[in-house]
């Protein structure tokens, strides 16, 4: 008997991939067309905005002759910094996650150091290390270590305790327990920390090369900006964005390939006894370090020009606050931060809400915004100073750019993930657009929005300090620290670091307090 043959009809050819590709390319093409029109009709000077043809012609000779060697230098630094920072972060994260004693003793100090922006350490490190290669590597390793440590520790802590109890019951040896339990549980968190580490490391590398380097992409951008060769600056920005995007995509593909098992159920954290003793134990290591610091300066183990005594730092801090110098600098920095944060976060929230509500806008704008976000933040500084000068407007625009993307992503996620049941209820009740926004959209997106605003405010503060480093005209904490570093006044530099840390902590607490007040309904 002949087998029965069944012929499947051919699949209709789908236009969806082609439509998605066209949508992704539409806005970049429109941007290039607008750029060409602005240069062709002299809406902006050729010196301020070189034409696309000029940039392409410059790139043809500039990339192989000058940019490629400097790019290799930057990538080598990034690779060494990532390797060292990830190794150190994994070690600290595993120790803090597996040992409650080490966690109680070391994690409070680590959290304090983590809240100090990496950028704040650069003037102090320049006093000790100059502009040598060690400066770049120390800055990179610090920027990379923090997210890897925190994510690794969180991954180990979130592993259900029943799994550890089963491992102890089965008397699994430590190598087997590590390979079969700890590593699979923490690997998703490690990959998240690695992606964050790559992003922060790339930004920190460009920043330190802009400020204190004689080679690398950042140095090449500074040199091109000083010669007002903005076509070369634009080429550097495009290359930095391309490598940032490629690195992020590579890490995402690696994560999808390595992690193919479902995430474990989150464990319940039981309250630990003797909370008072544990809180006191967290102060033990900082107190010992302060005593060691004082002893090192008294015995002259380190030069006072690089590491002054703690009392000298406190004296400099109080004297600066008493004379009004630090107060004036802090006031200028805070005003810039709040102005840039208000501008950037407002635009980010509005655009993120639009992208979350409109699929057409999402398809058109998201690819372009993702490409712009992949450019390291400080790579925009040479271009902004050429367009806005060295005045206050350049600093505020840069701070707004720093605050824009966290607010954009948070508002987008908050609107996009609104529960469908609530949307259906609003349609059944025939709520107006205003009522829907007030009683449905805003309350539902507040948790995600506050997470974004917290990051946005911290990025704005870091952006303000960075803008004052690079645009040192005028007042500000960053400008004061750079001037103190040039005069070898290390006590004022450390006082500035303490001030930056205090403001960072204050901003974090204020946003957290506002979140608790406005989302109190979530706990009832």
Per-residue model confidence as pLDDT tens for the chain (524 residues): 444 544 455 555 444 455 656 767 777 888 888 888 888 787 877 778 888 888 888 888 898 888 999 999 999 999 999 999 999 999 999 888 888 888 888 888 888 788 888 888 888 888 888 888 889 999 999 999 999 998 888 888 777 777 777 777 777 777 777 777 777 777 888 888 898 899 999 999 999 998 888 889 999 998 988 888 888 999 999 999 999 889 888 988 888 888 766 555 444 444 444 444 455 656 777 778 778 877 877 777 777 667 788 888 888 888 888 888 888 889 999 999 999 999 999 999 889 888 887 888 888 888 888 888 888 888 898 888 888 888 888 899 999 999 999 989 888 887 777 767 666 777 777 777 677 766 776 776 777 788 888 889 989 999 999 888 888 667 888 888 888 888 888 888 888 888 888 888 888 888 888 877 776 655 55
Question: In the structure encoding, which two tokens stand for residue 221, read together?
Answer: 């951008």
List every span in the chain annotated with CATH 1.10.3720.10.
Answer: 48-263, 324-524
d(CA 110, CA 88): 13
HSE-up of 425 (CA within 13 Å, CB side)? 10
pTM of the entire structure?
0.82
Question: In the structure encoding, which two tokens stand for residue 427, read together?
Answer: 């349609």
Burial of 520 (0-12, 13-18, 19+ CB in 10 A): exposed
Residue 259: name the closest of 200, 195, 170 by CA: 195
- End-to-end CA distance of the chain: give it in Å, rounded: 71
- Identify whether the C-beta of residue 294 lies closer than 8 Å to the C-beta of residue 288: no
What pLDDT score does 430 carry?
A: 74
What pLDDT score does 166 carry?
A: 75
- Identify whether the C-beta of residue 230 lies closer than 8 Å to the C-beta of residue 48: yes
What pLDDT score does 266 carry?
A: 47
The alpha carbon of residue 161 and the mean position of all alpha carbons in its chain are separated, in whole angstroms, by 32
What pLDDT score does 261 carry?
A: 61
Residue 136: name the closest of 197, 96, 78, 198 by CA: 78
Please state, as a whole number, how many other Cβ atoms lie within 10 Å of the Cβ of residue 68: 11
Question: In the structure encoding, which two tokens stand for residue 126, read together?
Answer: 């320049």
d(CA 189, CA 172): 24
Tell whether domain 324-524 is in CATH 1.10.3720.10: yes
Helix ranges (DSSP H) in 2-116: 16-40, 52-62, 68-98, 100-115
* 274-302 core/surface letters (b: 16 or more CB in 10 A; e: else): eeeeeeebbeebeeeeeeebeeebeeeee
CATH of domain 48-263: 1.10.3720.10
């Amino acid at each position: 008997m002949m087998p029965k043959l069944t012929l499947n009809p051919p699949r209709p050819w789908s236009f969806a991939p082609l439509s998605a590709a066209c949508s992704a390319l539409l806005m970049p093409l429109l941007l290039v067309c607008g750029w060409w029109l602005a240069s062709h009709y002299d809406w902006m000077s050729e010196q301020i905005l070189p034409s696309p043809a000029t940039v392409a012609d410059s790139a043809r000779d500039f990339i192989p002759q000058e940019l490629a060697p400097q790019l290799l230098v930057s990538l080598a630094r990034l690779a060494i910094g990532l390797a060292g920072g990830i190794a150190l972060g994994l070690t600290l994260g595993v120790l803090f996650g597996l040992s409650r004693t080490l966690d109680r003793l070391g994690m409070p100090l680590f959290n304090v150091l983590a809240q100090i922006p990496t950028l704040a350490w650069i003037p102090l490190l320049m006093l000790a290390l100059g502009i040598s290669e060690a400066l770049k590597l120390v800055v990179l390793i610090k920027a990379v270590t923090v997210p890897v440590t925190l994510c690794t520790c969180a991954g180990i802590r979130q592993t259900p305790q029943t799994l550890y109890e089963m491992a102890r019951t089965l008397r699994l040896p430590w190598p087997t327990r590590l390979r079969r339990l700890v590593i699979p549980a923490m690997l998703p968190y490690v990959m998240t920390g690695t992606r964050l580490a790559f992003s922060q490391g790339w930004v920190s590398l460009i920043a330190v090369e802009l400020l204190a380097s004689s080679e690398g992409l950042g140095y090449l951008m500074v040199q091109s900006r000083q010669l007002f060769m903005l076509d070369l600056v634009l080429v550097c920005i495009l290359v930095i964005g391309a490598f940032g995007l490629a690195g992020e995509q590579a890490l995402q593909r690696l994560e999808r390939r390595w992690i193919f098992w479902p995430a474990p159920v989150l464990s319940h954290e039981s309250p630990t006894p003797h909370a008072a003793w544990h809180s006191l134990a967290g102060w033990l290591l900082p107190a010992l370090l302060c005593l060691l610091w004082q002893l090192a300066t008294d015995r002259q183990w380190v030069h006072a020009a690089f590491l002054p005594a703690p009392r000298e730092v406190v004296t400099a801090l109080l004297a600066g606050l008493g004379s009004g110098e630090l107060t004036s600098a802090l006031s200028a920095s805070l005003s810039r931060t709040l102005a840039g944060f208000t501008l950037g976060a407002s635009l980010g929230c509005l655009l993120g809400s639009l992208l979350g509500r409109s699929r057409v806008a999402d398809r058109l704008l998201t690819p372009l915004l993702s490409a712009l976000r992949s450019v390291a933040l400080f790579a925009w500084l040479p271009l902004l100073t050429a367009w806005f000068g060295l005045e206050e407007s350049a600093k505020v625009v840069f701070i707004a750019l720093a605050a824009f993307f966290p607010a954009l992503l948070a508002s987008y996620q908050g609107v996009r993930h609104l529960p469908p049941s609530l949307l259906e209820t609003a349609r059944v009740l025939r709520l107006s657009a205003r009522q829907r926004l007030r009683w449905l959209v805003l309350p539902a997106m507040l948790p995600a929005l506050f997470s974004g605003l917290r990051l946005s405010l911290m990025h704005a503060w870091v952006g303000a300090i960075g803008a004052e480093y690079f645009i040192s005209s005028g007042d500000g904490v960053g400008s004061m620290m750079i001037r103190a570093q040039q005069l070898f006044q290390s006590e004022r530099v450390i006082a500035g670091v303490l001030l930056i840390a205090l403001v960072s902590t204050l901003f974090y607490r204020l946003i957290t307090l506002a979140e608790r007040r406005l989302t109190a309904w979530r706990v009832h």
